[in-house]
Structure 1
Amino acid sequence: MPRFSRAVALFGALLLVQPVYAQRLRLTADAWPPFTDATLVNGGLATDIVTTALARAGYASDFEQVPWARALKGVGDGRYDVLINAWYDEARTQLGEFSAEYLLNRVRFIKRREDPIEFENLAQLHEAPIAVVRGYAYSAAFDADTQLQKIPVHNFAMAVRMLAAERVRLTVEDEYVARFYLARESARVRNAVEFLPRPLSENSLHILVSLKNPEHAQIVAGFDREIARMKADGSYARLMKQHGM
């Protein structure tokens, strides 16, 4: 075979084995470890799950980390194709199309191990000082309950250390976020606390695909399909494990 013909044949063979991407998607999110953070392995748990599912659906992607308000506006304007970490909100359906749930955020109370405190309803906790991160929203009922003794702090690390030191009786945080930060605390703090069984609230996590992208419905359908397949073939569970979940 002439040299030129061999080169053409080789190039054709390479095309057959290389993935053919429908389009290159622009992904965005704010910094929210362990879900999305450019300093973490593969951009964090949510970023890894989303980019893997999209790649399996035939979409290459690039990720840009920006503040939340800019990310949401960028999806609405069409600057970004996909917001990685969105809770469902009716108003946001004017900006993009939601996928099905791919992760579940559970906001849970954390107490000292020896403390017998229980949680079935918020009224039970009115006498218990609770460390909360200033500016956070936890649930509509919790945020609106003025009888709760909320002690504002700068971050979860401060809250859980106050809990371990018996300066408050509870703190509250998304379970995955809490586990991420607890793994970085001292053994003294980590071993002193535990989650209460009942969650305060649950929020499903979705991608939000910009309505400015003419293939938004197709992107969502492909993503949902591949998430289901990843759960069936074990690759979803492997990603969770790789990220310490």
Structure 2
Amino acid sequence: MPRLHRACALVGLLLLSQGVLAQKLRLVADAWPPFTDATLLNGGLATDIVSTALTRAGYASEFEQVPWARALLGIGEGRYDVLINAWYNDERTLIGQFSGEYLLNRVRFLKRKDAPIEFNNLQQLHTYPIAVIRGYAYSPEFDNDVALQKIPVHNFAMAVRMLAADRVKLTLEDEYVARHYLARESAKVRNSVEFLPKALSENSLHILVSLKNPEHQKIVAGFDRVIAEMKADGSYARLMKQHGM
């Protein structure tokens, strides 16, 4: 029996030396399909990318979905280790350390395919009614332009159906989010609209690791390293394809 104990201890030390037994990280995000959603494949695109990268960096993880305000508060208090889907701002650096960019969010306009609308600057769009989701922030320039004809709606599904019915001339949404919802619309709606080429805004997506975790620098460094490796070896592209992107 003592020999068995020594053998088990030796195996444990070996696993620790190889980084196999690492701390279990508590991942958190709000529902934001297709990026983070507990009902989707592996918790959504962003959750899948982040958990895969952390696993390859030597960390086990578990995911919890909560409202955004609770997720951010939990990172600040140390109840969670990693916020999966964070846009950078200076205020958040007081509670967590940002990784490098691992996804890019592009907010783009959609129009009817038969509408001769072009977008190079917002002034060109002042004559068109635009469906916007009530309470959303799209970009400071767009949000503060009082000459734009903004028609508030409850969600993107309503906005794109109004667009397909020619009740508005434009709507806008993050490109990945729009593609996710368009795939669930009828062919009539889906085939009648298209994206304008130029994006309104771009925001890089990062993980935010709680400063309460003493290994936050190590976690971020490992995550960034593995994301680069995944892009180089093709596994990042395979994950994107699995999620329909």
Name the TM-score, length of structure 1 as normaliser. 0.94
The match for 2:81 is 81
Instruction: Please list, as runs of the form range in 1=range in 2, the aligned pairs for 1:73-222 lying within 5 A after superposition.
Output: 73-222=73-222
- C-alpha separation in 1, matches of 2:209 and 2:22: 15
Identity of aligned residues (%): 78
Give deviations 1:11-60, integer Å, cap 9, x for gaps: 949x76x9713211011000000000000010000000000000000010
Residue identity opposite 2:162 in structure 1: M
Residue identity opposite 1:32 in structure 2: W
3-state SS, counterpart of residue 33 of structure 1 = coil
The offset of 1:136, in angstroms, is: 0.5
The match for 1:60 is 60
State the aligned residue count: 240
Instruction: Please list, as runs of the form range in 1=range in 2, the aligned pairs for 1:6-45 lying within 5 A after superposition.
Output: 12=11, 20-45=20-45
3-state SS, counterpart of residue 185 of structure 2 = coil
Residue identity opposite 2:213 in structure 1: N
- C-alpha separation in 2, matches of 1:199 and 1:175: 9
3-state SS, counterpart of residue 203 of structure 1 = strand
After the TM superposition, list the runs of 4 or more consecutive aligned residues in structure 1 that deviate by more than 3 angstroms: none
- C-alpha separation in 2, matches of 1:147 and 1:117: 17
The match for 2:235 is 235
3-state SS, counterpart of residue 130 of structure 1 = strand
Deviating more after overlay: 202-211 vs 21-30: 21-30
Residue identity opposite 1:140 in structure 2: P
Q: Point out where structure 1 has 5 or more consecutive residues left out of the alignment.
A: none
- C-alpha separation in 2, matches of 1:27 and 1:154: 29
- C-alpha separation in 2, matches of 1:58 and 1:52: 10
3-state SS, counterpart of residue 241 of structure 1 = helix
- C-alpha separation in 2, matches of 1:35 and 1:41: 10
Give deviations 1:74-112, integer Å, cap 9, x for gaps: 001101000000000000000100000000000000000
Residue identity opposite 2:35 in structure 1: F
Residue identity opposite 1:88 in structure 2: Y
Name the TM-score, length of structure 2 as normaliser. 0.94
Q: Point out where structure 2 has 5 or more consecutive residues left out of the alignment.
A: none
